[in-house]
Amino acid sequence: MYLCTVMGVYREIGDREYQDLAQRILYEDNHLLVFCKRTGEIVQGDKTGDEPLSETLKAFIAQRDAKPGQVFMGVPHRLDRPVSGVVLFAKTSKALERLNEMLRKGEIHKTYWALTAGEPPKESDILTDCLTRNEAQNKSYVSQNGKEARLKYTVIQSTERYRLLEVELYTGRHHQIRCQLSHMGCPIKGDLKYGAKRSNPDGGICLLARRIQFIHPVKKTEVDVTAPVPLSWKGIEG
């Protein structure tokens, strides 16, 4: 069970963890923080009781800035546990409110990279499917009675065994990229739930939130942040 805040006091971050967290901050100002998430980490608390990044970063900032009292770390969007890449956090309630509104309006653009097995039928295409979510299985399926899901993929690199696809989402359905690419015949490397033949050593999947672009909700300047390619993605150039 992770350690929650008690009377405004956060857990102490050790030197090694402190340096690791500091190096994974891709962008930060008084309003926002963009962080590079690893596979296996969770963004916000869930039933597992594992410490989420929102709490870890609160402790980090409290220690780094010698900040008394509570640290605010709002979560406007999430990444699934097995996914890696850019995650956006709000450092003020005002920024969180504005980011949530921008997400609703589609004003925050996210680009994903997916390392997949199988040969896509085209080098680039727009996939349109209807997806149904099975809550008990925590899995989505292509179904005639589901909600419309649309994405665009483009093959940008190839290795002997895999294809690297750049993916842009036009809708935000549960497990949308994982489900639609699998349905196309190109399951993501390591994604056993959606048809991969074997797991990855780290238990994650080769789906990376590669880039995030938006107009800063307070400064009104452009923010454009790119996550590095995981070292485990051998043969893929970032």
User: What is the DSSP secondary structure assignment for residue 237, as one 8-state letter?
Assistant: -
Type of residue found at 209: A
Helix (H/G/I), strand (E/B), else coil: 195: coil
Indicate the angle between helix axes 15-23 and 53-64, nearest 10 degrees: 100
Strands (E), 6-91: 25-28, 32-37, 84-90
| Spatial distance between the Cα atoms of 149 and 40, rounded to a whole number of angstroms | 26
Contact (CB, 8 A) for 87 and 24: no
Tokens 């069970």 found at: 1
Instruction: Please indicate whether residue 46 is annotated as part of the active site.
Output: no
| Spatial distance between the Cα atoms of 225 and 213, rounded to a whole number of angstroms | 7
* Residue among 229, 193, 228, 2 at smallest CA distance from 80: 193
Name the catalytic one among 20, 80, 129, 202: 80
Residue 166's H or E segment, with its range, is strand 163-169
| Spatial distance between the Cα atoms of 236 and 107, rounded to a whole number of angstroms | 29
Type of residue found at 60: F
Contact (CB, 8 A) for 42 and 150: no
Kindly list the catalytic residues: 80
